[in-house]
Chains A and B, each alone.
Chain A
């Protein structure tokens, strides 16, 4: 039966030129198999082949494991499936003639070096960022969490990719029911491929949210650890530099990685700025349109005259003009993201000078509309993770403001808040600590207490240890 495992294995990989097979004898006949592209030649040679070739008198595979294998991770595989899982991940398999198998960690360490993540730059604080290698990422977490309470549950997801996923948490802080629920959710995923952690984020969002992100994403190990210490679970995916954190609150979007390394009064000022600029970004274009179309009396007289003079000769309605400006801005942003950085500068110039200035001079767009569009666009970047969502929202709100006036803007605001208020994942209300109001959690929401004064863990994140002291 077990002999069949080796035969089955060889049958499965017959015709694959990437597979390296070597027969050795060290008292018993062994077959060493590895994947050329996934294994480090030096490791295969020094951890597996050298000890085997020079050895004599081994009696069985257990003796080979305990006395000959020099690899740090050597395990006896329980079945063919687990042998294949190890094999495709870069382990070298050592088979005996009876079909018993050892797997030795000989994975290659090809990948980029740890560097500062481009999406989370900070003025102060650690500059290390996650990379695509799961092992390195777990190392980055462990480096900061030198405790026996750090736990990692490893599973594989994806029928073809068999992607390694690690569920990391701090035992004694994270809520065990949430850890179990997340583990079950991930184990239940039935899909061909998991190419990035964002694939998993969609499966973990039980509400199937259409607009807003429901799973936290970070590229910085210090942030991931800070969240784990608050009771969250971190999910590290092989091949992705983005680590997922759960449960997730909307207010986390307002927080920047550098917030905890600055004076708390500066942090609060920064967060208020972000909040105000996002509100202004979404509402300003719609208010501009509906005030110009319906309720121009609200605008102070001198300001109104300036606007009227600027938009008098514009061939479009205020709504069409504003939508045009916003869409042009979105196109420029999309193009800028996908252009090589050298061309990006030229594109910015073309956008600013040709489209902006020339369109105003040609009388196609009004200067106030361009200014408001630009202001709104820049404001969106204070929330880099949600720029696209907010951009879509501002288009919708602007359209409603143009069609229904202040009523449309008011109703759109209510619908958005109603929807956000209804969201709840892993026992955590999305809009906590504001709705519902959780006074303790306001210590680090928009406002921030100095770090030494934050003695309680957030109540909105379920956890098993409420206090940070002792």
Chain B
């Protein structure tokens, strides 16, 4: 549908915002807990792995330009309808848990940093409502909004990350690889759930507008910038806080302290932090969109209007943090589902070009 069409440059900007929107709060402290000051190496390894998978996915997008098949059609035609539905369920779980983690991180940010505590329902419902508004308006609206706000968000992140640079002792990152290569790589696999931000691209697979066959350059450039920013932020954070970094959950907000030279100037960093928060909300919207699309494919409902049952179901799942802590969610669901999630996150993108080719050729034969 036209309202879900997205340009390749818009997609690149969204991808960059998605990287920046999810890895700046909790992940640095989680990685620091596992591998200390070598956490940036884990990120580096993770991004290299992501880059390989992303390249395959982009190749698949290029192959899909002619027929513009969507993910579920490709899966239906190649790996059977049952497997296709199982993959959709996995995607749904991933998006819902990721949305909950993002929501919980922001909730904590508001409670701890901004000192505004509120009820989870009062907090989560408006955000969910905006997510469904985005689903109704189409993916194109989220893409255009991201495009419009990209400059200001990117500037805010840069200011936040670079403001403490003069006070950072990068020597505290030495010796490199102290935690051991095995542990660094092992931590990546253990925390792989936090990576592969490209997953949302599956759900606009059939709606990407490519000009002059340029698929790789815009997306890979955005990915490279996002990766460098994330690694730099992590390195700066760990250098600034040393062994304390594993106990500081809201990394970006703590880095922001260095933005203001003294307390009488006021906490202007909170304004930049609020601007960065927009990228988190945009990411939440993208995830809600993808979760809704998963249900749409699972139950095969198609209507111009939102499906009430799907809306209610997704909203209820977003209330999970009221009953279960997100740490618990991560440690149980992610631990149990690590291997299936890895299939969706890493095996599927690598096999996507072959699946796309196969689906295309099957379709041609049937025609």
Contacts and interface: CB of A to CB of B under 8 A. Distances in A.
Interface in B127-160: 127, 130, 133-134, 137-138, 140-142, 144-145, 147-149
A408 to B, nearest CB: 8
A429 B144 contact: yes
Given A294-B116, A413-B278, A437-B9, A421 B148 contact: yes
B282 A414 contact: yes
Contacts of A299: 266
B170 interface: no
Interface string B86-130: 000000000000000000000000100011101000010011001
A405 interface: yes
A435 interface: yes
A422 B138 contact: yes
Interface string A416-456: 01110110000001010011110000000000000000000
B270 interface: yes
A298 B270 contact: yes
Interface stretch (A20-28, A197-205, A301-309): A301-309
B367 interface: no
Given A295-B115, A411-B281, A418 B270 contact: no
18 contacts: A294-B116, A297-B266, A298-B266, A298-B271, A300-B266, A302-B264, A405-B114, A406-B110, A406-B274, A410-B274, A414-B130, A414-B278, A414-B282, A418-B137, A421-B141, A422-B140, A436-B147, A437-B10
A272 interface: no
A110 interface: no
B263 interface: yes
A405 B266 contact: no
A435 B147 contact: yes
B186 interface: no
Chain B residues touching A, majority SS: helix
A153 interface: no
B181 interface: no
Contact of A407 (B110, B133, B144, B265): B110
A210 interface: no
Contact of A415 (B133, B140, B264): B133
Contacts of A417: 145, 148-149
A310 to B, nearest CB: 17
A437 B147 contact: yes
B240 interface: no
A416 B326 CA distance: 30
Given A421-B140, A431-B148, 6 more contacts: A294-B114, A410-B277, A411-B130, A421-B142, A422-B138, A435-B145
Contact of B130 (A298, A418, A435): A418
A421 B144 contact: yes
Q: What 5 pairs across the A-B complex have the smallest Cβ distances?
A: A421-B144, A435-B144, A422-B137, A300-B266, A422-B141
Nearest to B263: A301
Interface size class of A (residues with CB under 8 A): 20 to 34
Contact of B266 (A301, A413, A421, A422): A301
Contacts of B116: 294-295, 405-407
Interface of A: 294-295, 297-304, 404-407, 409-411, 413-415, 417-419, 421-422, 429, 431, 434-437
Pick the most buried of A409, A434, A436: most chain B CB atoms within 10 A of its CB.
Answer: A436
A452 B285 CA distance: 44
Contacts of A297: 266-267, 270
Contacts of B3: 422
A436 B148 CA distance: 8
Contacts of B9: 437
Contacts of B123: 407
B354 to A, nearest CB: 32
Contacts of A407: 110, 116, 123
Contacts of A421: 137, 140-142, 144-145, 148
B127 A436 contact: no
B268 interface: yes
B127 A411 contact: yes
Contacts of B137: 418-419, 421-422
Contacts of A300: 264-266
Contact of B144 (A295, A406, A431): A431
A435 B266 contact: no
A436 B144 contact: yes
**Residue among A302, A304, A410, A435 with most chain B CB within 10 A:** A435
B180 interface: no
A418 B129 CA distance: 13
Nearest to A304: B266
B281 A410 contact: yes
Contact of B134 (A302, A303, A418, A431): A418
Contacts of B278: 410, 413-414
A429 B145 CA distance: 12
Contacts of A404: 118, 126
Nearest to B6: A436
Contacts of A418: 130, 133-134, 137, 141-142, 145, 285
A256 B115 CA distance: 43
A294 B271 CA distance: 13
A458 B119 CA distance: 49
A405 B106 CA distance: 14
Contacts of B133: 415, 418-419
A414 B131 CA distance: 10
A362 B258 CA distance: 42
